[in-house]
């Protein structure tokens, strides 16, 4: 077991309990044609709390990966009938990138090139059989810790800290892909920019903390309003974005106006008391030659028209 502090100390027990709790959410795929080797590895993993999925060959492993999104770790034997470990690793990587699944290659063969071949095929690490329990846990823990670190960095890079919504960068990346994709498929796509009306007044009269509450309330309303396939984001300050496919005509107007009303009817329980607010919304539906920049610029121009027209309204 990887020791972070003295076994038996309170620190150590707290660490171990947290670790076992985390591991219960992680499935490890053990791929080996030898039943006894599978059993040995599976037993070690279960000792540390991991859920285990076993596969007797490459084909079974790929099938398990396709149906089970909880698999974060794959321990892959090299010598197997049908598909060898290195080839399986390559095919696994086509399904799951390095930020999704860690791969550890395993072999008892004394083959000088094998470790390099595993690593070049997309494995993160290698274990030579027979391995000690300590080495096994060190390698498994380090690889799982690294995945977790990547996940939290991805979260920090793509989420807005205050509201938990996707941030501007993440939204633009998704939109950059979605706009041409929808246009090629001949589907409609509407870009909306929402801006809270007179938000400066909310901050000035209720305080910044109340303003933050209001921002979180709008974010929650936006998430609740969004359908499957819609993308929402905090675009910056008190501005939000919503990218909504397959809406046109009266349905489009109705969709955004009901969002406007939803926010108009929100009562935000802030430290200073109950506050209300309204939003203005500019909407642009994609046309044949719109790229993302045009779409945003036109939604923004319409937002300006909504503000100039008296606020608390949708201009589409
Ligand atoms: P308009 O109706 O024209 O949009 O007026 P407005 O007051 O909403 O617009 P303005 O751009 O003048 O003010 C936006 C305010 O939003 C100013 C800024 O301090 C505030 N703001 C931006 N980000 C945050 C935040 O994270 N928390 C809080 N509390 N306020 C924020
Ligand atoms: Mg084998
Ligand atoms: Mg603004
Ligand atoms: Mg505003
Ligand atoms: Mg403004």
Q: Which H or E element spans position 30?
A: strand 27-31
Burial pattern 38-57, b for ≥16 Cβ within 10 A else e, equals: bebbbebbeebbbbbbbbbb
195 in ligand 1 pocket by Cβ < 6 Å? Answer: yes
Q: Is 238 assigned a catalytic role?
A: yes
Confidence (pTM): 0.81
Residue 192: enclosing H or E segment and its boundaries? strand 189-196
Question: Ligand 1: which of 219, 237, 272, 304 to mutate, most ligand atoms within 8 Å of CB?
Answer: 237
pLDDT digits (tens, 9 = 90+) for 142-169: 999 999 999 999 999 999 999 999 999 9
pLDDT at 224 > cutoff 90: yes
Of 238, 264, 274, 298, the catalytic one is 238
Closest to 281 measured CA to CA, from 191, 214, 193: 193
Residues in a beta bridge with 243: 191, 231
Q: Does ligand 1 come within 6 angstroms of the Cβ of 199?
A: yes
Whether pLDDT at 2 is above 80? no
Mean pLDDT of the chain: 94
Tell me which of 198, 200, 300 to substitute to probe ligand 1's pocket, judged by most ligand atoms within 8 Å of the beta carbon: 200
Please count the helices (runs of H) and the strands (runs of E) in the chain: 11, 12
The closest of 205, 222, 191 to 270, measured between CA atoms, is 205
Q: From CA 92, how far away is CA 221, in angstroms rounded?
A: 39
| Ligand 1 contacts CB of residue 166 (under 6 A) | no
Residue 74 and residue 29 in contact, taking contact as beta carbons nearer than 8 Å:
yes
Which residue do the tokens 């993308």 mark?
Answer: 231
Measured between alpha carbons, how far apart are the two ends of the chain, in Å?
A: 61
User: What percent of the chain is modeled with pLDDT above 90?
Assistant: 86
Residue 160, ligand 1, Cβ within 6 A: no
Tell me what ipTM this predicted complex has: 0.95
Q: Tokens for 74?
A: 């794959």
Q: Is 214 exposed, middle or buried (0-12, 13-18, 19+ CB in 10 A)?
A: buried
């Amino acid at each position: 077991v990887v020791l972070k502090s003295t076994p038996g100390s309170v620190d150590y027990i707290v660490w171990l309990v947290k670790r076992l709790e985390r591991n219960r959410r992680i499935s490890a795929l053990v791929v080996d044609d030898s039943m006894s080797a599978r059993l040995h590895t599976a037993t070690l993993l279960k000792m540390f709390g991991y859920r285990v999925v076993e596969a007797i060959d490459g084909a079974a492993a790929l099938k398990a990966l396709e149906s089970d999104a909880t698999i974060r770790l794959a321990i892959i034997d090299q010598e197997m009938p049908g598909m060898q470990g290195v080839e399986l690793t390559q095919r696994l990587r086509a399904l799951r990138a390095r930020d999704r699944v860690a791969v550890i290659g395993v072999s008892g063969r004394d083959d000088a090139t094998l470790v390099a071949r595993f690593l070049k095929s997309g494995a993160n690490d290698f274990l030579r059989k027979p391995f000690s329990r300590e080495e096994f846990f060190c390698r498994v823990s380090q690889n799982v810790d690294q995945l977790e670190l990547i996940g939290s960095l991805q979260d920090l890079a793509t989420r807005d800290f205050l509201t938990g919504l996707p941030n501007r960068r993440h939204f633009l990346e998704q939109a950059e892909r979605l706009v041409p994709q929808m246009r090629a498929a001949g589907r409609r796509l509407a870009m909306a920019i929402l801006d809270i009306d007179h938000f400066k007044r909310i901050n000035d009269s209720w305080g910044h903390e109340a303003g933050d509450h209001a921002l979180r309330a709008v974010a929650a309303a936006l998430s609740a309003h969004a359908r499957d396939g819609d993308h929402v984001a905090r675009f910056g300050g008190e501005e939000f974005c919503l990218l909504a496919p397959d809406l046109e005509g009266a349905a489009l107007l109705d969709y955004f106006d009901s969002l406007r009303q939803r926010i108009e009817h929100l009562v935000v329980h802030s430290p200073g008391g109950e506050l209300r607010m309204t939003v203005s919304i500019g909407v642009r539906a994609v046309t044949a030659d719109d790229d993302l920049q045009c779409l945003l610029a036109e939604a923004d121009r319409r937002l300006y028209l909504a503000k100039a027209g008296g606020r608390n309204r949708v201009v589409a």
